[in-house]
Amino acid sequence: MFRNQYDTDITTWSPQGRLHQVEYAMEAVKQGSAVVGVRSDTHVVLATLKRSTSELASTQKKLFSIDDHLGIAIAGLTADARVLGRHMRTECMNYKYIYETAMPVGRLALNVADKCQVSTQRASKRPFGVGLLIAGYDELGPHLYQSCPSGNYYEFYSMAIGARSQSAKTYLERHFEEFASLELQDLILQAIRALRETVSSSKDAELTSKNCAIAYVGKGDTFTIVEDEEIQPYLDTLENSDGKQEEEEEETEDAAEQTEDKPTDAPMED
Amino acid sequence: MFGGQDSKQHTVQPYVTGTSVIGLKCADGVVLGADTLVSYGSLAKNRKTSRLMTVSNHCSLGFSGEYSDFQEIKSTLEELMISEYCMADNIPMQPRAIHQYLARVMYEARNKQDPLYNQLVIGGVLPATGEGYLGLVDLLGTNYESEMIATGYGTYIALPLLRKAYRPDITVAEGRKVIEDCLRVLYYRDARSIDTVQISTVTKEGAETTEPFKLETSWDFKKFKAGSRLIDESTW
Amino acid sequence: MTSIGTGYDLSSSTFSPEGRVFQTEYAMKSVENSGTAVGARCSDGVVIAVEKVYHSRMMMKGSLRRVHFVEKHIGVGIAGLLPDGRQMVSKCREEATQYREVYGEPVPGRVLVDRLARFTHLYTLYWHVRSFGCSALVAAYDAEGPQLYMVEPSGMLMRYNACATGKAKQQAKTELEKLKLGELTCREAVTELAKTIVNVHDSTKDKLYELEMLWVCEESGRTAQFVPQELIDEARKAAEDEKDREDDDDDMDDA
């Protein structure tokens, strides 16, 4: 059987100049359930799909609060994510202790990425098998970062990672430019819509208050996780607005100047 | 016993020292002032030593106390500012952050029973609003913000004058005059001061520290000439 | 590379029978897979330009930064694996700080790159680490005047008048050789380097890309700074227009 001899060791380069172990770690991110991040001019929203191993088990946590102004959504190995999460919390605390100021989101993303890089270069380590979406708000405004096992990190307007995230990405690519001016409530709905794209193609296929959780942070809002029964109203709103949309599409011919459908009954939360 | 075989003694007094620094918060920035003398006890050791430094575009710093300790603090701060420069991420370090950073440095040293023998006055503006910021840290790590700050002998001589002159709407231009007057009075009253001073102003436009200049002084007040005792009208 | 697959190319602590260390060569391959980076030393300073390839429209400008600062007067451009590059940059900053602590003045470019090269070389010596997958172009301006260096994954360090690395380094080198560097000012070099990157850029493979540039020159007060964005945009537009015109001419010749 063919065996790639360059892919078992983190310190081995392939003749093509690739690092297979790092690439495999990137695959671990794709095994995790999907998470979506979207950004407006004032807020960032993360939407996540939670899995459970059995009917009797609780779902796996996907959202972690790091500091008042910052949190993460994870895809991949949860245990690895907890290590990174703890590191991030410590870094935020240290920064705040020294400067009495919240840590800028970009600097934390850089810090985490540098930490990830270190474990791609030593035989005694393996790369972290987890991708993060980092959502935060600082003096420069809202930020959405993605960090990878490879030690790369990027800032995005919108992004999705994890299993079947491609369909969410396709949705986001079509719509992300419209998000800039959205109110928080509408932004949340957009995030859930994008997330729904990742389940609609599979059989187990529905977002419920059990398997969906979101978080937001932004101007005037500290990092807040919304899950369980609290998320139900959003799902309902989404369902209603979809119903309306379908009706509208049927009526488009005879109602040309129909205004664009907007969910008016979006739940308000403070 | 102190200084026994197992015990160790760190700095218990400063040697080469600067006297008062004063600062006033204004509506559109902040003004700091200090003379340029460092003394070795009562000896005027060096009369052209800058006791004010420009930390960043938005922040200045003045010190009183041990000069060598201040040099150490200064290089720490310069290092911090270089690493900020290298980040190049458009997040200017706020004066408050610099103040707090120094407070941690001072408190850490003090907790090692080896304090940096200084009082530091931090003046700056908030880059976003242009509002002034004025804070102090001392050798114990004590830190606070205030509208007017004076260290050393200035606490007795300058602070009352600053309090009297302060208005929330006082401008930097007016504040500069007040600071200059205070430095003059300090020169009259404080034997460890001289008449060569520097003034640092921080506004939205930037931080600027003047070259050392000489204060205009007048010594022909009646009491200065005669000596106060000769015309003392009190009964004791 | 006849020794591929014979087992002599799996560890940096193994020589092949013909006396090569393949692992280091492979690491250099990864630089050649990445966007092109060029640098030029001019009469009044140094300019570095890097081609930054994007894979998503949703990524924000300024992500994947390849231009970094180490000291007020030293800048670094990275070609190859960016995370590795950042590690090099961190090391440079550490060395710069250490030098300042000891000698009380900013580190000279020459000293800094020497230490960086030594650090990079260390990672080619042991089985338990891998070589860096990136090259660093270092621009410095100090008492010795403007300097341009390149440190490669093998730990090799050279000083250059102009250099290129990355995907299209051969083509870029040819273009750089045409420049009269002694007469060029940095401002002019911005245009020339932009042209080089635009010309070697393969728009069929990598659609989205950004030009990132730094300079250390008289105009920037001998400090390392980003080249102002307007200047880059202008230079890029001029270069692209020229390229389009040439392409049109070629088409006409063909007809």
Q: Is C86 on the interface with B (CB under 8 A)?
A: no
Write down all domains in chain C, each with its CATH number in brackets: 22-247 (3.60.20.10)
The pLDDT of residue A252 is above 60: no
Do the Cβ atoms of C69 and B88 come within 8 Å?
yes
Do the Cβ atoms of A140 and B128 come within 8 Å?
no
pLDDT in tens, A132-158: 999 999 999 999 999 999 999 999 999
pLDDT band at B234 (very low <50, low <70, confident <90, very high): low
Q: Which residue has the higher pLDDT, C193 or C208?
A: C193
Mean per-residue pLDDT of chain A = 90
Q: In Å, what is the CA distance from A270 to each residue of A191, A232, C211?
A: 18, 16, 43
**In terms of Cα–Cα distance, which of A161, A174, A180 is closest to A43?**
A180
Q: What is the chain A residue with the closest CA to C126?
A: A11
Distance CA B228, CA B223 (A): 5
Longest Cα–Cα distance in chain B: 68
Do the Cβ atoms of C70 and B86 come within 8 Å?
yes
Do the Cβ atoms of A173 and C57 come within 8 Å?
yes
Chain C residues in contact with A15 by the CB 8 A cut-off are 1, 4, 9, 22, 26, 29
The three-point CA angle A7-A164-A185 to 5° equals 135
The pLDDT of residue B56 is above 80: yes
Hunting for tokens 């200059």 — which residue is that?
Answer: B180
Do the Cβ atoms of C100 and B83 come within 8 Å?
no
Between A55-64, A117-126, A236-245, B74-83, the lowest mean confidence (pLDDT) is in: A236-245
CB-nearest to B104 from A98, A106, A139 is A98
Contact (CB, 8 A) for B74 and B111: no
**In terms of Cα–Cα distance, which of C185, C164, C180 is closest to C39?**
C164
pLDDT attached to residue C246: 84
pLDDT attached to residue B227: 66
Which of residues 6 through 35 in chain A touch C, CB cutoff 8 A? 6, 9-19
Contact (CB, 8 A) for A231 and A186: no
Do the Cβ atoms of A159 and C58 come within 8 Å?
yes
Tokens of C155: 């730990």
Do the Cβ atoms of B89 and A106 come within 8 Å?
yes
The secondary structure element, H or E, covering residue A70 is strand A70-76
Do the Cβ atoms of A17 and C26 come within 8 Å?
yes
pLDDT band at A55 (very low <50, low <70, confident <90, very high): confident
pLDDT attached to residue A256: 44
CB-nearest to C93 from B75, B83, B88 is B83
Q: Is C93 on the interface with B (CB under 8 A)?
A: yes
CB-nearest to C100 from B79, B86, B88 is B79
pLDDT attached to residue B232: 58
CB-nearest to A16 from C29, C83, C129 is C29
Which of residues 64 through 103 in chain B touch C, CB cutoff 8 A? 75, 79, 82-83, 85-86, 88
Cβ neighbours of residue A94 closer than 8 Å, sequence gap 6 or more = none
CB-nearest to B90 from A97, A100, A140 is A140
Distance CA C107, CA C112 (A): 6
- Name chain A's partners: 3 or more CB pairs within 8 A: B, C
Question: Which ipTM did the prediction report?
Answer: 0.93
pLDDT in tens, C91-141: 999 999 999 999 999 999 999 999 999 999 999 999 999 999 999 999 999
The pLDDT of residue B221 is above 50: yes
**What whole-number percentage of chain A has pLDDT above 90?**
81
Q: Is A36 on the interface with C (CB under 8 A)?
A: no
For the segment B130-134, the average pLDDT, to the nearest whole number, is 95
The pLDDT of residue B163 is above 80: yes
Mean per-residue pLDDT of chain C = 94
Tokens of A135: 């959502």
Q: Which amino acid is at A128?
A: F
Contact (CB, 8 A) for A223 and A215: yes
**In terms of Cα–Cα distance, which of C138, C84, C133 is closest to C115?**
C138
Chain C residues in contact with A19 by the CB 8 A cut-off are 30, 130, 133
Distance CA B231, CA A56 (A): 97
- Smallest CA–CA distance, residue B98 to chain C, in Å, is 19
**What whole-number percentage of chain A has pLDDT above 70?**
88
Q: What is the chain C residue with the closest CA to A112?
A: C83
Most C CBs within 10 Å, among B82, B87, B89, B90, to test the C interface: B82
Which of residues 111 through 130 in chain A touch C, CB cutoff 8 A? 113-114, 116-118, 120-124
The secondary structure element, H or E, covering residue A143 is strand A141-147
CB-nearest to B85 from C69, C97, C104 is C69
Most C CBs within 10 Å, among A2, A8, A112, A121, to test the C interface: A121
Q: Is A90 on the interface with C (CB under 8 A)?
A: no
CATH of A33-241, one of 3.30.530.20, 3.60.20.10, 3.80.10.10, 3.40.50.1010: 3.60.20.10
- Residues of B with catalytic annotation? 11
Chain B residues in contact with C96 by the CB 8 A cut-off are 82
The pLDDT of residue A265 is above 50: no
DSSP H helices, A32-143, are: 78-99, 105-118
Chain C residues in contact with A159 by the CB 8 A cut-off are 56, 58
C213: left (phi over 0), alpha (psi -120 to 50) or beta: beta
All structural domains of chain A with their residue ranges: 33-241
pLDDT in tens, C32-85: 999 999 999 999 999 999 999 988 999 999 899 999 999 999 999 999 999 999
pLDDT in tens, C201-254: 988 888 889 999 999 999 999 999 999 999 999 999 999 999 888 888 776 666
CB-nearest to C9 from A15, A121, A172 is A15
- Smallest CA–CA distance, residue C235 to chain B, in Å, is 23
pLDDT attached to residue B224: 76
Do the Cβ atoms of A101 and B87 come within 8 Å?
no
Tokens of A67: 């500091």
Hunting for tokens 């060791």 — which residue is that?
Answer: A9
Chain B residues in contact with A100 by the CB 8 A cut-off are 96-97, 100
Which residues on adjacent β-strands are paired with residue C147?
A: C140
Q: What is the chain B residue with the closest CA to A103?
A: B91
Which DSSP string corresponds to chain C? -TTTTTTTTS-TT---TTS--HHHHHHHHHHHTSPPEEEEE-SSEEEEEEEEE-S-TTBPTT-S--EEEEETTEEEEEEE-HHHHHHHHHHHHHHHHHHHHHHSSPPPHHHHHHHHHHHHHHTTS-TTB---SEEEEEEEEETTEEEEEEE-TT--EEEESEEEESTTHHHHHHHHHTS-TTT--HHHHHHHHHHHHHHH--TTT---EEEEEEEEETTTTTSEEEPPHHHHHHHHHHHHHHHHHHHHHHHHHH-
pLDDT in tens, C19-31: 999 999 999 999 9
Do the Cβ atoms of C93 and B86 come within 8 Å?
yes
pLDDT in tens, A75-109: 999 999 999 999 999 999 999 999 999 999 999 99
Chain C residues in contact with B76 by the CB 8 A cut-off are none
Between A140-154, A252-266, B176-190, the lowest mean confidence (pLDDT) is in: A252-266
The three-point CA angle B127-B130-B133 to 5° equals 85
Chain B residues in contact with C101 by the CB 8 A cut-off are 75
The pLDDT of residue B222 is above 80: no
Do the Cβ atoms of C68 and B86 come within 8 Å?
yes
Q: In Å, what is the CA distance from C124 to each residue of A21, A82, C11, C150?
A: 19, 33, 9, 17
- Smallest CA–CA distance, residue C105 to chain B, in Å, is 10
Mean per-residue pLDDT of chain B = 93
Do the Cβ atoms of B89 and A104 come within 8 Å?
yes
The pLDDT of residue B129 is above 80: yes
Q: Which amino acid is at C97?
A: T
Number of cross-chain residue pairs from A and C with Cβ atoms under 8 Å apart: 109
Chain B residues in contact with A96 by the CB 8 A cut-off are none
For the segment A160-172, the average pLDDT, to the nearest whole number, is 96
Do the Cβ atoms of C130 and A121 come within 8 Å?
yes
